[in-house]
Structure 1
Amino acid sequence: MSTVSETATAPSTLTPEQVCDLPMGELLARVSGNLDTIDTQAPKLAGFDWSGFFGYIVVRNSGVTIYTPADATDAARDVYIRYLITQHLGLPTDLFPDVFEVTVFVGPNLDQVQA
């Protein structure tokens, strides 16, 4: 999983419990968030090992976009989105499985990372 960032994260007024419990629409509104998917089966992505991938978040001045695999179940996507938002906000992640891992990409070569 990768978290992609263009700007610093502002301190959160949300708690980890709220991130896990708020209705998705309200949660996304609170973080100026949008959802999108990535088709990990697309021919242009062939050859990548997607076995541990569950999504990424792109942070811009206007808000965040959370990308999850297009073939993920609704339940899995919900957990992935909430985990990525928790990470984005810098909140403790102890409400999520310990197996989740994050890689953060920042800096002037961000376009290359996303390519």
Structure 2
Amino acid sequence: MDLQALSSPLYSARGWLKFIGVMFIINGVLTALSIFGILIAWVPIWLGILLFQIASAAEQAFLTQSEAEFLKSQTKLKTYFTITGVLMLIGLIFMVLFLGLGGLAVISQLASNPKGF
């Protein structure tokens, strides 16, 4: 197995992985400045740290031909996408819920006042 060829795409993207990781960490720190944000600030910080770990493991896998480091980078990447996917699903559920509640409020308002708003 040519590990250098397999790890090359992540190795070449390591700069972007680190940049996006820094952006996530900054986002988490800024989110933590609010009272409610303290509860959820750990998520973007965790994602940023994961991206840094992916970049480091991919770099080590490329440079040392280490199968363990390559597997580590792939495992961290799986964790990153799992967390991101779960967060997207939660966001979609809340969006549908709030749109539905907003629609019900509009219908209720129209029903109670037939002349309009």
- Greater helix share, structure number: 2
- Greater strand share, structure number: 1
| Bigger CA radius of gyration | 2
- TM-score with structure 2 setting the length: 0.30
| More contact order relative to length (CA 8 Å, sep ≥ 6) | 1
